[in-house]
Each structure stands twice: as structure tokens, then as C-alpha cells.
């Protein structure tokens, strides 16, 4: 197997001063990419700023013989991050939306500020940074974008209503970007990582924390960003040197009326509930049009019943 390289490519990694982002930045640089190491340098809850985090990773890359430049802006000002790439390297090929913070509280205790800051950093930050890079990538005819979701977004987690909402939001954003960018070879995929980092310290058991190294996820993200990878609009969960695809499945369902002229009633929903929720013959849903085709088939069936 020959080494997959990123020579001539420019990779922007947000929140790359620590944890997962640092691992991504080091890997891309070691494989020949020029890297923009973005990090606001604040605390895990969104307070403060600093240049040390981004500078530290840029130094690591340079000491290893790689090429990198620091950017200290918040992802909420994503266009400044992309400008750093364009000013220094003239292009942007890869964008990993990775920056993140937590403001965990049970829903009853969540303040509007806790809600807003999490939506701003995770969802709006991904929107702002991606929107600045997207036209450049489309014009080039090449781009690879990663959104970072979370198990909390896909499955929910006590105390993370704000974070769960934002992390599901980036999945929706990725779904549509995958469609809008496809014709121009601009692909967007989602990573759902689990790793020992500042964000998970004290949340993961210590032995698991030590074992779940960000470096074990970085190759998955890097592969998704390689020009040879044709994956688009996919959610990949990864941890501990394992990776797998996640997808929405829908049950076969059933009609809750027999003829097109029949009404739908609460009682017929109740009577059919076991079949509506029976996942035995569930199928993956790949697109909105596939979902609509199934709907039209149901309507045709009802009309024939007349």
C-alpha cells in the first residue's frame, strides 16, 4: 500500500490547538499538507482567549519539517480563518470543523446563555467557516469538509441538551452540503469521535481516557479528506482504532387507512402502532427523493383501493 499524501493541499483545522484537532493537524502536515492551525485558546466552557495553543501545534509541525500557520480567531468569525489560508497559501482544500466547548447542565437548569454559546461555537461556527471555504472549493473543483458531531447528538445524553441540538444540527448541515457540493467534487462527511481530551477529562473513566487516543481517529478523518475518497454525506463513528458508518433506518410502516376517501383516525394509529414501529424489515433512507417515491407509491395503492 502506498502512502496517501496531501502534497499541494491546504488543510484548515479549527480547534487544532489541542485534542482531536491537534492530532488531525499533525497527521495532515506529516503527509505533506500545508496546515492552518486555528484555535481561540480559551477554556473548555468558552471563556478567555490565547495564542499558546495554536502556536504550540504550529511549532510541533515546523519542528517535524512540516508547514503550518496559526490563526487565533473564533470559528464564529470563520471567514478570518479561511482568509489566513488564502493569504498564506492561496487556496483551501480541506476544512475540518472541529472546534468545540461544553456547557453541560440538565435541561431544567440550562440558561439561554448556555444554549446560545453552544449553538454559536458548534453550529454557527461550522456554518461561518464552511460558508467562507465552500465557494473557493467549488471553484477549484475539489474540496473535502468534515463536520464534527457527537454520540450526544445522535443518541442524546443527560445534561447535554444544548450540545446535542448543535451536534445534530451539524449533521443536517452536512447532509445538504453533501448534495450542493457533489457536482463540483466538494464532499462533506461527519465524524463522531470518542477520545480522551480536555473535554472528556473527568467524564470518561481514567483507563478508557488513556486508551482512547485522538491519534487513533485522525487517520479516519484524513482518509475522508483524501482525493481518492469518494464518500459523501456519510456519518462515521470512530474511537480506539475502530470506525463504522451510522445511518437512519425507517420501518416498513403501514397504512392507517384503507381507501383514499377514508380519514386517518387516532384509533387506527393505535391499532397499527406495533406495525408502524416494527423495525424488523427497516430500510436505510438514502435521500429525500427516495422517501418521496415511497410516499407516492402508498398514495397510488390507496387510489387503487377505490
Alpha-carbon distance of 144 to 155, in angstroms, equals 26
- Write down the catalytic residue from 89, 163, 187, 249: 163
Out of 75, 85, 222, 256, the only residue in the binding site for ligand NAD (CB under 6 A) is 75
Q: Does 71 contact ligand NAD by CB under 6 A?
A: no
User: Which residue, 152, 145, 121, is CA-closest to 43?
Assistant: 121
Q: Does 18 contact ligand NAD by CB under 6 A?
A: yes
Q: Does 162 contact ligand NAD by CB under 6 A?
A: no
Out of 66, 100, 143, 181, the only residue in the binding site for ligand NAD (CB under 6 A) is 100
At closest approach, how far in Å is the CB of 32 from ligand NAD? 23
**Part of the chain binding ligand NAD (CB under 6 A), chosen from 40-48, 132-140, 243-251, 255-263:** 40-48
Q: Does 129 contact ligand NAD by CB under 6 A?
A: no
Tell me the three-class secondary structure of 167-229, residue by residue. Answer: HHHHHHHHHHHHHHHHHHCEEEEEEEECCCCCCCCCCCCHHHHHHCCHHHCHHHHHHHCCCCC
**Part of the chain binding ligand NAD (CB under 6 A), chosen from 60-68, 94-102, 106-114, 276-284:** 94-102
Pairing of strands 249-250, 283-284: antiparallel
**Part of the chain binding ligand NAD (CB under 6 A), chosen from 61-69, 132-140, 191-199, 267-275:** 191-199
Q: Does 194 contact ligand NAD by CB under 6 A?
A: yes
User: Which residue, 124, 122, 133, is CA-closest to 80?
Assistant: 133
3-state secondary structure of 148: strand
At closest approach, how far in Å is the CB of 226 from ligand NAD? 20
Out of 30, 74, 162, 232, the only residue in the binding site for ligand NAD (CB under 6 A) is 74
At closest approach, how far in Å is the CB of 195 from ligand NAD? 4
Q: Which is nearer to ligand NAD, 203 or 276 (CB)?
A: 203
Alpha-carbon distance of 169 to 15, in angstroms, equals 19
Q: Where are the alpha helices (DSSP H) in the chain?
A: 19-30, 52-63, 78-89, 112-118, 125-140, 151-155, 161-181, 206-211, 218-224, 266-276, 288-304
Q: Does 19 contact ligand NAD by CB under 6 A?
A: yes
**Angle CA 159–17–212, to nearest 5:** 55
Q: Does 130 contact ligand NAD by CB under 6 A?
A: no
Q: Does 159 contact ligand NAD by CB under 6 A?
A: no
3-state secondary structure of 62: helix
User: Which residue, 167, 174, 176, is CA-closest to 188?
Assistant: 174
Q: Does 197 contact ligand NAD by CB under 6 A?
A: yes
Whether 72 is catalytic is no
Q: Which is nearer to ligand NAD, 129 or 256 (CB)?
A: 129
Q: Known catalytic residues?
A: 163
Amino acid at each position: 500500500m502506498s502512502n496517501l499524501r496531501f502534497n499541494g493541499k491546504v488543510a484548515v483545522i479549527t480547534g487544532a490547538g489541542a485534542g482531536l484537532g491537534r492530532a488531525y493537524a499533525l497527521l495532515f502536515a506529516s503527509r505533506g499538507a500545508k496546515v492552518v492551525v486555528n484555535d481561540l485558546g480559551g477554556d473548555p466552557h468558552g471563556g478567555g482567549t490565547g495564542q499558546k495553543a495554536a502556536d504550540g501545534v504550529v511549532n510541533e509541525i515546523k519542528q517535524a519539517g512540516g508547514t503550518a500557520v496559526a490563526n487565533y480567531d473564533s470559528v464564529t468569525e470563520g471567514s478570518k480563518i479561511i482568509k489566513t489560508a488564502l493569504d498564506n497559501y492561496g487556496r483551501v482544500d480541506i476544512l475540518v470543523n472541529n472546534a468545540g466547548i461544553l456547557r453541560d447542565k440538565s435541561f431544567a437548569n440550562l440558561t439561554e446563555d448556555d444554549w446560545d454559546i453552544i449553538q454559536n461555537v458548534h453550529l454557527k461556527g461550522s456554518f461561518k467557516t464552511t460558508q467562507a471555504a465552500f465557494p473557493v472549493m467549488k471553484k477549484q473543483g475539489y474540496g473535502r469538509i468534515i463536520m464534527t458531531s457527537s454520540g450526544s447528538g445522535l443518541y442524546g445524553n443527560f445534561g447535554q441538551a444544548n450540545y446535542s441540538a448543535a451536534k445534530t444540527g451539524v449533521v443536517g448541515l452536512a447532509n445538504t452540503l453533501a448534495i450542493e457540493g457533489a457536482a463540483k467534487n466538494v464532499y462533506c462527511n461527519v465524524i463522531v469521535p470518542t477520545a480522551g481530551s480536555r473535554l472528556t477529562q473527568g467524564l470518561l473513566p481514567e483507563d478508557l481516557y488513556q486508551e482512547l487516543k485522538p491519534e487513533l481517529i485522525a487517520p479516519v478523518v484524513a482518509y475522508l479528506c483524501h482525493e481518492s475518497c469518494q464518500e459523501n454525506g456519510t456519518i462515521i463513528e470512530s474511537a480506539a482504532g475502530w470506525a463504522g458508518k451510522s445511518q437512519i433506518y425507517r420501518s416498513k410502516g403501514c397504512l392507517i387507512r384503507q381507501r383514499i376517501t377514508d380519514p386517518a383516525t387516532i384509533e387506527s394509529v393505535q391499532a397499527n402502532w406495533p406495525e408502524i414501529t416494527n423495525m424488523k424489515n427497516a430500510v436505510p433512507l438514502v435521500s429525500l427523493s427516495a422517501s418521496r417515491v415511497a410516499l407516492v407509491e402508498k398514495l397510488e395503492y390507496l387510489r387503487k383501493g377505490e
